[in-house]
Structure 1
Amino acid sequence: MMAEDRFWEVISLLGGAVSEDSALRLDRAIRRLTPADASDFMDHLTRKLSDLTELPLEGIPVSDITDPEDVEPLPLVGDSLRYFYYAVIASGKDSYKDVKESPSNISKKRWDFSESELFIEVVSAILWENDGTQWESVDPTASTQCPGENAESEAEEPWWYAPTHGTINVKLPMNYRQAIVKVTEAINTSKKWKSWWRESSLDHLDADILIGTNRPSVVFKLGRKALKAEFEMGPSRFENKGPSELMDLALEEVQYVMNKVADRLKLGPVPPIAEIREEIHRTHT
């Protein structure tokens, strides 16, 4: 079991705040740990984050060092609150204890939490590589929503398919983005598609889709509860396409993605994509 002081020794490599350089130092330090110590480090971190979430910090106005001095500090809510939790850890053992003992005093100093997201990125990548577990599933500061869940009511099941799109020298047309949203919603709420995905015994399919590359490729990263799929797709075919044709492209994309996933996981044939088109027409016209 990693000792408490050893945990703070590793954290001290951040130098009191998260930056690109300090995040790189932290990343290297954690990767040098034994698998058991790396796991213990994550446990220490989640417990301390959990303790911070129990404090009445939400809504307290706090200044970041990047804020102009003549501007009123904004209250800690949403992402800023989450990043502040990580900044408190990064600031070191003594500062962490001070916050726990006197949470209302956090407004009396200027903090450095504008790059705290890099802290999250480091531990997310390492936990996934070491254990196949998504950091969001164990991080007590994370939203309880799963990817895409904000588009549905709380009473419904979390979405299992969450695509994200990036481009190289290509601009995604707004109508294409809208088509992707409609297709994703239909896939996630379709009983046939949900039944097909259950064959995988996984919770999520996270697809990162990069459009505009010259060398199309697919890379899969299989975790305990999720499959990450990284797709690089060829140059754009969006030119001079209307809404209906862009919907066709969005459907072709998801058909391609799901066929590749089915092959990788040895799943049965994907459900008919034509039924997704019909569902979109029924619900959006």
Structure 2
Amino acid sequence: MDEQTFWELVDRTGPDPANLERLADELSDHAAADIRDFADHLARALHALDTPAHYHAVATSGASFLGVRCAAVAAGNRAYRKVLGAPAALATYTGSPGDQLLPVAERAYRTSTRADWQHQTAVSTHTGSNVAAWGTSWLHPHMGTTTVEGLAPQDYMIALRHVALTLDADPAWRSWWRQSGLTACELGIVAEGRLDHLRPSADIRRCADRLRANFTCASPHGGADLSARAVSEVRSMFEVIRQAMSMPGLPPTPPVPTLPADVPEVPVTAKPLAAMPAELEPQGYLTLTQIQEFFG
């Protein structure tokens, strides 16, 4: 199946979610290879909309970024091309459910072949997977955790990264970072346990045209508001960076959108604290050298 045929199918279906079952039925009449091609064309279309500009266009809506991109594709080729060239136009689809477009190829394949769907699309649809687009970003978060009291909750790792991506997509923060004269900030965040965080560590150093800044922060406990906690932690880190680099004051923190339900788990580097001789008191925190070397 070529791209033109893909868009002909989408255009005939229209944006109404009620018609997606009909699309799956029509697609199931095609050969298995065509169904896989349909999935690949859909993934490429969604992948192309995975840019900081498109992300920022819907960031404050609370809608699923992937779902909104699906809605733009379901609106048809002409509407999609408009959104592709004008990221702000993606905001018009925040109220349109689009997630149901994703499993259409799988349903069609199962109907057609009576076999399990095992196809991996040519490109990923996850937020941030479009490296060519996000590669122009200035803030690259790296997540880590120590293992003294168990790993930091994945939800908190996601929240911290989500805040960092929100700052990365914000024009005011991008403009502020340009004043550093560096191309990017490699922000390492290591969540420690309560014992570990008695002595938080920070390492900030310039590496060629980038800043490498590794910080520790306490893991949340109890009924903590993870989003508010993450905003506070990340902003505090940048205040340290600002002072270390003698930069102007930080911009206001932009509204951080509600995390959608489809956010995938983020990669987390997990390392134990160094073992101590039995006669010495447990260290309970990362040393400066350990935080420097945490992400390799």
TM-score range, shorter-chain basis?
Answer: 0.3 to 0.5
Q: Higher RCO, 1 or 2 (CA under 8 Å, sep at least 6)?
A: 2
Alignment TM-score, normalising by the size of structure 2: 0.39
